[in-house]
Amino acid sequence: MANAFYTRKPEWLKIKLPHGEKLAHVCGNLNGRALHSICTSGLCPNRGECWSNGTATFMIGGDTCTRNCRFCNVTTGRPKPLDPNEIERVVDSICDLGLKHAVITSVDRDDLPDYGAAHWASMVRRLHERCPGVTVETLIPDFNGRLDLLDMVIDEHPNVISHNLETVRRLTPDVRCHATYDCSLSIIAHIASRGIRTKSGIMLGLGETPEEIYQTMDDLRAVGCEVMTIGQYLQPTENHYEVREYVHPDQFEHYRLVALEKGFRYVESAPLVRSSYHAERHVL
């Protein structure tokens, strides 16, 4: 059977071309400060929409990830040392863009003794200090399950902390690198136990079954996760994990309703949903 990467994408996955002054402004703002975004590094299909609306998701810790997840387009390899000025440049950029809600993620930094936790904590602290009115969502890595390192971020009180499961339990070893389903659940459980809103996301089209999706919803609810995002996996290149299915928008809507019934406070579920899509709605 032909790899779906080469087959024609369905109509509902047609992406609007980026355009407009605001998009150019976001682009210049990031490039001018040598900052990275998951919008670009992850080949996000919503870049046209989000950047045209003047928003982006910053990626800190550099542009090179120490892990090699089979779904992800971020460059993998040995990262450079952390840039101590990166945090101030990100805050400058958030101020310049006039963001009311900032979403920040990072590459995995398994090369560092604290896996990047202190850098993360400084990021949130400086944002609160310099932009007290700006709410922040941190989309964090698993810090190798080290709850003491996770506490360094929690202690800076981001408004929302998200950590993605990415896929169902059965497919996790194939799709993610080094991470485990149970470690991610333990991260989410700890965040929720500290009273911070938690959020997690999965991609569909990797070969999961509806029953496995329902089970994932139950697993997330059981550890106190309040917000869930569900989107279509898009295979970045032929070398990445093979897309198995393009799930119909009606099915995404079905999953949204099921997740709401299971008690999630907010659910974004549609083909082009990504974890930071409409993130400003999840902080309220």
Separation between Cα atoms, residue 138 and residue 160, nearest integer Å: 6
Strands 160-162 and 135-139: parallel
- Is 139 among the residues that bind ligand SF4 (CB under 6 A)? no
- DSSP-assigned letter for residue 54: T
Measuring CA to CA, how many Å separate 87 from each of 8, 100, 156, 163? 41, 18, 15, 21
Length of the chain: 284
Q: Rank residues 46 and 162 by Cβ distance to ligand SF4 and give the closer one.
A: 46
SS3 content of the chain, % helix, strand, coil (to 5): 40, 15, 45
The 49-88 contact track toward ligand SF4, x by CB under 6 A, reads: -x----xxx-------------------------------
- Is 243 among the residues that bind ligand SF4 (CB under 6 A)? no
Strands 36-37 and 57-60: antiparallel
- Is 190 among the residues that bind ligand SF4 (CB under 6 A)? no
Measuring CA to CA, how many Å separate 222 from each of 47, 193, 217, 226, 283? 33, 12, 9, 10, 21
> At its nearest, how many Å lie between ligand SF4 and the CB of residue 272?
8
Interactions with ligand SF4, residue window 2-41 (CB under 6 A): 38-39
> At its nearest, how many Å lie between ligand SF4 and the CB of residue 41?
9
Q: Rank residues 90 and 149 by Cβ distance to ligand SF4 and give the closer one.
A: 90
- Is 200 among the residues that bind ligand SF4 (CB under 6 A)? no
- Is 283 among the residues that bind ligand SF4 (CB under 6 A)? no
- Is 46 among the residues that bind ligand SF4 (CB under 6 A)? yes
- Is 117 among the residues that bind ligand SF4 (CB under 6 A)? no
The token duo for 77 is: 């390899």
How many CB atoms within 10 Å of residue 88? 14
- Is 122 among the residues that bind ligand SF4 (CB under 6 A)? no
Interface with ligand SF4 by CB under 6 A: which range of 11-19, 46-54, 64-72, 175-183? Answer: 46-54
- Is 119 among the residues that bind ligand SF4 (CB under 6 A)? no
Class of residue 209 by CB neighbours under 10 A (exposed 0-12, middle 13-18, buried 19+):
exposed
Q: Rank residues 199 and 274 by Cβ distance to ligand SF4 and give the closer one.
A: 274
For ligand SF4, the binding residues (CB under 6 A) are 38-39, 44, 46-47, 50, 55-57, 274, 276-277
